Structure 1
Amino acid sequence: MAQTLHTLTDQIRAAAADGTALRIRGGGSKDFYGNSLKGELLDTRGLNGILSYEPSELVVTVAAGTPLAELEAVLAERGQCLAFEPPHFHWSPGNSGTTVGGMVAAGLSGPARASAGAVREYVLGLHMVNGLGEHLVFGGQVMKNVAGYDVSRMMAGSMGTLGLITQVSLKVLPVAPAEATLVFALDQARALECLHTWGGQPLPLNASCWIHDNTASPAGQDLLFVRLRGAVAAVEAACQKMLTEQTGQRMDNTQAQGDWALCRDQQLPFFQRPADPALALWRISVAQTAPAFDTLPWPQMVEWHGGLRWLWAPVDAGAQLHTLAQAHGGNATVFIAYLSDLTGARGPFSINDPAQMAIQQRLKQSLDPHRIFNPQRLFPAW
């Protein structure tokens, strides 16, 4: 790993000297995400290995190019996990698997984000190389380790535009003693009403997904799936209470776990590419208190615990969706657009607050003054 780090650092310094753009890439599982891919390849896969793991301290330090599946397997052997359930995106063409560095850089979390927390909340510290080829260390290996600006957590979701992550320390958690998934036949408005009610009660709710299931019957069926995790007694009591209040049934755990993994990795039937290539997959992030968007004419899926609404809609519906999301304190982004190069749908990320954008620009200037890392991947102006 030391030799690989030395080689990558030399490549960064050379790029800074002659203004060559660099494209940071691990397994390539998120090549589809964000703006265009530009620059000379900076391959992180040689930064591989679990550098330290203290199960009793719930902390693991991993080299950035380590496959996510490898880390999760090691944690599972000790009955621990990454509670934020990062997606793997096995379906992304031409990828060799999600890496830990890519997981942090993308900042994407699974269906339990509201209850378990997002990626950035589990980043304790990291090492990185900035745009001048300097090795920097932020944070540490304990929760309270930062005085001032927490750059380590700023790297989560930065899409590689601020620097090369070389290693990261993460907080891990024990696997919950018990888990159950309940399913209810409810329309979107009633499903959200139930979730709001249950969310205000001391129930071990962990994740939820509302979807119109076209496989349930010829006409399809509106279904709400709710996952509970926690102590055995708490999960059992919650199941009994919820099934008493609302007609539903308990799923087989093996089947449910497979379905939640498909939800996390966006491999449910809902995410299959539609026949119409003009449709884009929109990711609408809004508060959980937002009402049902049942007046929209396009297929939807709701991850209430993820604070997300997914839908297939034309790219030119952007103005309508942006207005709707902003009215509820959120934002709408194009997650996947198949005609993006023709329609100008690239550039899905935006910051409407000038003060926030100014902070982002100063951070970019400080860490990558020559603007060599992942140009235009996050914002078209970078």
Structure 2
Amino acid sequence: MMQGTSEAFLQQAVRHAVDIRTPLKIVGGNSKAFLGREAAGLLLNTLQHQGIVNYHPSELIIIARAGTPLSEIEQTLAEQGQMLAFEPPHFSGQATLGGTLACGLSGPRRPFTGAARDFVLGCKLINGKAEIVSFGGEVMKNVAGYDVSRLMVGAMGTLGVLLEVSLKVLPLPALEQTLCFELGIVAAISKMTELASQSLPVSGLSYYDGILYVRLSGGEKAVKASAGKLGGNKAMTDHSFWPRLNEQRLDFFQGDMNLWRIVVPPAAAELELAGAWLYDWGGGQRWLKSEEPAQRVFSAAENAQGHAVLFRSKDRTGDVFQPLSGKLQELNRNIKQAFDPSGIFNPNRMYRDW
């Protein structure tokens, strides 16, 4: 294993790997090691490359090194009444900023405030030529053209070693309240579609075990007025549902059965796949516990104009991410070739042949 705190050390490690054509398995806090295929290579640990570089509360911008613990960033923001609006899951106290963005996961707020990539302003990384390069900066608009920094979100470390990231943050809501509705699945999908289209301070829509959970966030008057308008069977006094959902601590997520993450248009009808379901993102993100064959799940997601990921499984040797084809596969291969011409970064983590 190679680990060090400085950019120079990490750059030298990449340069050495390029010279001897040795793949690198990039690891931070290892909190999401279960996600994706098993990567092979010499372990390059970035956990010690940490620290908040700059924080401008008045400008809603934070810049931090990739190895910085996610908990440290969130605590620093909370002290100033701010937050990471994409509500990233941790899955472990060791979660880092770099790993969070590499996996590209967003929590229940995602449809209402934006995804992880929407808040990335810029990044610094080491590419496959062992060069330290920077993209973006501290503004939302990248005048140079395509926002390359956002390519790193969800790339699973296959395009380079993240060194530093600048993010836009948002103020914490003054008040949050959760309402519950007892509904069947068809009525729940319809209700979520209806609520998402209205001018309401909705920040979470999830359906689980016959209950539709509606979270309202914002100013006190707006939240209370909306709650009074919507009614519901009851208002939750226990606010732990949303973090338990986001961190997969609900009973639904327990057990050894394959766990699929399926992303489809929110109003899409039920998918004809056997298993247990949990709906998030107003119906746009659907969790499925099932032993259905992988190809059947991928086909069902594609037919619904979405995609699927085998999120947790004992067997990660097959296809984990939705298979690519045609122009989309060509585009992804070209991007990989441009950033990592020697193919040394987390090979096979996303797909078998690259």
Which TM-score bucket, shorter chain as reference?
A: over 0.9
Of 123, 141, 144, the match for 2:141: 144
8 Å contact from structure 2 (residues 273, 292) kept in 1:
no
1:247-326 correspondence to structure 2 within 5 Å: 247-252=232-237, 255-256=238-239, 258-274=240-256, 279-293=257-271, 296-305=273-282, 307-316=284-293, 318-326=294-302
Pair 1:129-2:116 in alignment:
no
Does 1:337 find its partner at 2:313?
A: yes
2:219 is matched with which residue? 231
Alignment of 1:2-151 (within 5 A): 4-90=6-92, 97-151=94-148
1:369 corresponds, among 338, 341, 345, to 341
Secondary structure, counterpart of 2:22 in structure 1: coil
Q: What is the CA deviation profile of residues 186-220 of structure 1, one whole-angstrom value per residue up to 9, with x for unaligned ones?
A: 111111111122222211111111111xxxxxxxx
Equivalent residues of 1:286, 1:331 under 8 A apart: yes
Distance 1:119 1:146 in 2: 20
What amino acid maps onto 1:115 in structure 2?
F
Provide, for residues 79-115 of structure 1, a one-character-per-residue CA deviation record: whole Å limited to 9, x for no partner.
000000000012xxxxx61100001111000012111
Is the partner of 1:195 in helix, strand or coil? helix
For 1:172, the equivalent position in structure 2 comes to 169
Identify the residue that residue 360 of structure 1 maps to in structure 2.
Answer: 332
Give the number of aligned pairs: 352
4+ residue stretches of structure 1 with deviation over 4 A?
Answer: none
- What is the CA–CA distance in structure 1 between the aligned matches of 2:106 and 2:35, rounded to whole Å? 14
**TM-score, structure 1 as length reference:** 0.89
1:123 deviation in Å?
Answer: 0.3
- In the alignment, is the contact (CA less than 8 A) between 2:66 and 2:162 conserved in 1? yes
Give the whole-Å Cα distance in 2 for the aligned partners of 1:241 and 1:290. 26
Judged with a 3 Å threshold, the aligned counterparts in structure 2 of structure 1 residues 130 and 306 are, in CA distance, closer, same or farther, namely farther
Structure 1 stretch displaced more, 258-267 or 134-143: 258-267
CA RMSD after TM alignment = 1.6
Report the alpha carbon displacement of residue 322 of structure 1 after superposing the two structures with TM: 2.2
Q: Deviations over 1:277-298 (max 9, x none)?
A: xx310111101110234x5431
Once residues 143 and 171 of structure 2 are traced to their aligned partners in structure 1, the CA distance between those partners, rounded to angstroms, is 25
Letter in 2 for 1:5: E
Q: What TM-score does the superposition give when structure 2 sets the normalisation length?
A: 0.95
2:352 corresponding residue in structure 1: 380
Q: Distance in 1 between matches of 2:146 and 2:21?
A: 28
Unpaired runs of 5+ residues, structure 1, are: 91-95, 213-221
SS at match of 2:6: helix
Deviation at 1:3, TM superposition (A): 5.5
Partner SS for 1:161: coil
Shift of 1:352: 3.4
Q: CA deviation at 1:43?
A: 0.6
1:304 Cα offset (Å): 3.2
Shift of 1:259: 1.6
- Report the Cα offset of residue 326 of structure 1: 1.6
Q: Is the 8 A contact 2:273 2:297 kept in 1?
A: no
Question: Does the Cα contact within 8 Å between 2:159 and 2:345 map onto a contact in 1?
Answer: yes
User: Contact between 1:128 and 1:137, CA under 8 Å: does it hold in 2?
Assistant: yes
Contact 1:303 1:309 in 2 (8 A): yes
Question: Does the 8 A contact of 1:21 with 1:372 survive in 2?
Answer: yes
CA distance in 2, matches of 1:21, 1:137: 23
| 1:380 partner SS | coil
- Check the 8 A contact 2:22/2:41 in 1, yes or no: yes
Alpha carbons 1:207, 1:306 under 8 Å: kept: no
Secondary structure in 1 aligned to 2:18? helix
One-letter amino acid of the structure 1 residue matched with residue 15 of structure 2: R
**Percent identity between the aligned chains?**
41
What is the one-letter code of the residue matched to 1:324? Answer: A
